[in-house]
Amino acid sequence: MLSAPDGRVVVTTDLLIEGRHFRRDWSSGYDIGRKAAAQNLSDITAMGAVPTGIVVGLGLPSDAALTWLDDLTDGFRDECDLVGASVAGGDITRCDLVVIGVTALGDLGGRAPVTRSGARPGDLVAVAGRLGHAAAGLALLREGRDGPAELIEAHRRPAPPYACGIEAATFGATSMLDVSDGLLQDLGHVAKASGVALVLDPEAFVIPPPIADAARQLGADPLEWVLSGGEDHALAATFPVHARLSPAWTVVGHVIEGEGVQVKGVSLVRGGWDHFHE
């Protein structure tokens, strides 16, 4: 039983399947536990709520060792500890692959929820947290590379900017979500829900040296990773033009009348992760 002091509960759920969302030969049980919890806790903070707990549904094959399961649950616990949440319970069954279903709950603390539908023409578009790191790390792993290590680690274990969710709500964010499927694709949800267009400035995105290094190794465009790569669980939000933002937030564009997401002077082949075509 979880208390709900606000009288409202924010809830989200996500499903991770071995071979599609993670590989046991690439990530430890601990990393997978941290990742599974993080992507749900981030969704809660993206509504301006405080995570209170998670419940976990777990399918395990017969070759999953007890020590691996201990590591997985340690990962759940330690990621929840970062936001003061707890693992409230769940269920377990036998399965051919590792399947993890996490449901997270949160409390708004009396604040209005920040949804995807409040962006208005004239608003600023800003992001907090890492972009492109997990996508670059996945590309490196697929090519059998072992570095830059921080990018591979970013794929294994995201680092959502949890504190920025409530911060954005107090700054007057008009819309917000976490970046799970790629910035362009996820901002497309904001554009559609709000009935507006979002224009991004590619020069506002600084390419970190590790991503630039990985792009040189693989002959890739680093901006593609930043704009279209998922699983970093950064936060993207829109704010009134005169909002005073902390240094954790970087303004990367603005909202206009219209529809969809535009990037000034850039033509991109894809907009992000598609669960049914990848």
14 known member of a binding site: yes
- How far is it, in rounded angstroms, from Cα 67 to Cα 71? 6
Q: Is 273 annotated as a binding residue?
A: yes
Q: How far apart are CA 58 and CA 128, in angstroms?
A: 31
Residue 242 has what DSSP assignment? T
> Is 116 annotated for ligand binding?
yes
Number of helices (H) and strands (E), helices first, in the chain?
A: 8, 10
Q: Annotation-wise, does 246 bind a ligand?
A: no
What backbone torsions phi and psi does residue 185 show, to the nearest 5 degrees? -65, -45
Ligand-binding site membership of 221 (annotated): no
238: its two tokens: 């829109």
Spatial distance between the Cα atoms of 70 and 33, rounded to a whole number of angstroms: 10
Tokens of 273: 């992760």
Q: Which residue has the tokens 């990848």?
A: 278
- For residue 201, say whether it is annotated as part of any ligand binding site: no
Is residue 21 annotated as involved in ligand binding?
A: yes
Q: Do the annotations mark residue 242 as ligand-binding? A: no
Helices (H), the chain: 29-45, 66-81, 133-142, 149-156, 163-170, 183-194, 209-218, 222-228
Is 96 annotated to bind ligand?
no
CA 58 from chain centre, in angstroms, equals: 21
Compute the Cα dihedral for 174, 178, 179, 181 and give only its sign: negative
Give 117's DSSP letter: S
Does 18 belong to an annotated binding site?
A: no
178 in a known ligand binding site = yes
Query: Is-cis flag, bond preceding 148, omega within 30?
Result: yes
Tokens found for residue 106: 């949160």
| Residues annotated in a binding site | 12-14, 21, 43, 90-91, 116, 178, 180-181, 231, 273
| Residues annotated in a binding site for ATP | 90-91, 116, 180
| Residues annotated in a binding site for Mg(2+) | 12-14, 43, 91, 178, 181
| Residues annotated in a binding site for substrate | 21, 231, 273
